[in-house]
């Protein structure tokens, strides 16, 4: 006997449902009181009492572990939902939690002026664009000296702003004056020799020892002459001898005079003389940095180098490069 339109009724777990096709229940009808029997949309095959074989149904609003990490139903995949269309957890920009690949997340403050974090959870300071709330933005150079911009995109010191930022800068007279003749400050904010009293630029032969130029000595017009211990390039001459006289040289490394004396030469052809060291400093390691004074003799001034810890009967009162000369330091012939 043939029957059409046969209706079958199932009773599973005490709840009845009417399938739309043989043996498969619909998803709109609860067929179990326990969630572990919740069917999939189109189960194939029907799981029965073994839900671990069914898998999850992403998008039904139910989190079915271990197949799903989240399930917000129709909200899956929407910005800020925190759940992808595949029911996987994703960082939720704006929840105040920093999660990869977010660069920042300040919650409700994202995108506000000065927050440093965009609405997309991207850092604004460092993108090379001066965003709202930023004073500057030098990109990857933020925080580098002379970039003018700090790591938090606020303006900071730089060479040429007229402010000495130690320890990087030795001086800063502003961009207009740095490097100007006589300013004493270079374009890179380092100290340079200043203009001499006559307002000419420092140079070898001006009678002033300019250490910044590498000068070890400077006897002015006498540089290179026999009476001078200084060469035409403002370097100390090597040791010299005079007859039976001991070798004398203002450079302490070459000085062969008695330990309590230092030496100088008077006029061409004359012997070397030694003078009592008057307590001023002579640096053996750096001949370019000796303290010295001038001694007037025979109408000329001569530099006399001195050492620490020794005093003469009468101290020199006018150390080089101050004005005047010393005439009270005892001088003796060393030969």
pLDDT tens per residue across span 243-301: 222 334 444 444 444 434 444 444 444 433 444 333 333 333 333 333 334 444 444 44
Domain annotation covers residue 16: yes
Residue 17 in 3-state DSSP? Answer: strand
CB 194 within 8 A of CB 200: no
Domain annotation covers residue 231: yes
R_g (Cα) of the chain, nearest Å: 46
**pLDDT: which is higher, 43 or 180:** 180
What one-character DSSP code corresponds to residue 195?
Answer: P
CB 241 within 8 A of CB 212: no
Q: pLDDT by residue (tens digit) across 297-323? A: 444 444 444 444 433 333 333 333 433
Q: Kindly state the average pLDDT of the residues 187-216.
A: 76
Domain annotation covers residue 114: no
**pLDDT: which is higher, 76 or 320:** 76
DSSP 232-293: TTS-BPPPEEETTEEEE-SSTTT--S-TTEEEEE-STTPPEEEEE--S----SS-TTS--EE
At 185 the pLDDT is 87
Give the domain extent around 242: 223-335
Confidence of residue 151 (pLDDT cuts 50, 70, 90): confident
At 9 the pLDDT is 40
Q: How many domains does the structure of the chain reveal?
A: 2
Residue 170 has pLDDT above 80, yes or no: yes
Residue 42 has pLDDT above 60, yes or no: no
Domain annotation covers residue 328: yes
Domain annotation covers residue 23: yes
Residue 237 has pLDDT above 60, yes or no: yes
CB 254 within 8 A of CB 263: no
At 269 the pLDDT is 46
Domain annotation covers residue 211: no
Least confident range from 10-24, 48-62, 194-208, 320-334: namely 320-334
């Amino acid at each position: 006997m043939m029957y059409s339109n046969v209706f079958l009724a199932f009773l599973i777990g005490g709840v009845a449902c009417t399938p739309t096709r043989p043996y498969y229940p619909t998803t709109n009808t609860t067929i179990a009181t326990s969630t572990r029997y919740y069917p999939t949309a189109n189960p194939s095959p029907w799981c029965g009492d073994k839900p671990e074989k069914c898998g999850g149904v992403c998008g039904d609003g139910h989190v079915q572990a271990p197949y799903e990490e989240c399930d917000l139903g129709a909200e899956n995949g929407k910005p800020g939902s925190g759940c992808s269309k595949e029911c996987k957890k994703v960082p939720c920009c704006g929840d105040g939690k920093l999660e990869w690949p977010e660069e920042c997340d300040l919650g409700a403050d994202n995108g506000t002026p000065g927050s440093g974090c965009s609405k997309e959870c991207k850092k604004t300071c460092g993108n090379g664009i001066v965003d709202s709330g930023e004073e500057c933005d030098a990109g990857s150079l933020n925080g580098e000296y002379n970039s003018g911009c700090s790591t938090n995109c606020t303006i900071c010191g730089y060479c040429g702003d007229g402010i000495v930022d130690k320890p990087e800068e030795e001086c800063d007279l502003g961009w207009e004056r740095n490097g100007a003749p006589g300013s004493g400050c270079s374009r890179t904010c380092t100290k340079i020799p200043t203009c001499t009293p006559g307002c000419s630029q420092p140079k070898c032969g001006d009678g002033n020892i300019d250490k910044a130029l590498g000068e070890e000595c400077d006897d002015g017009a006498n540089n290179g002459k026999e009476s001078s211990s200084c060469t035409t390039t403002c370097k100390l001459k090597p040791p010299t001898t005079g007859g039976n006289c001991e070798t004398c040289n203002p450079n302490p490394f070459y000085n062969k005079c008695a330990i309590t004396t230092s030496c100088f030469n008077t006029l061409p052809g004359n012997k070397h003389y030694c003078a009592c060291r008057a307590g001023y400093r002579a640096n053996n390691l750096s001949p370019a940095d000796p303290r010295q004074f001038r001694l007037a003799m025979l109408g000329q001034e001569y530099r006399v180098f001195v050492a620490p810890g020794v005093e003469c009967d009468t101290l020199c009162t006018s150390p080089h490069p101050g004005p005047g000369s010393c005439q009270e330091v005892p001088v003796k012939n060393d030969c």
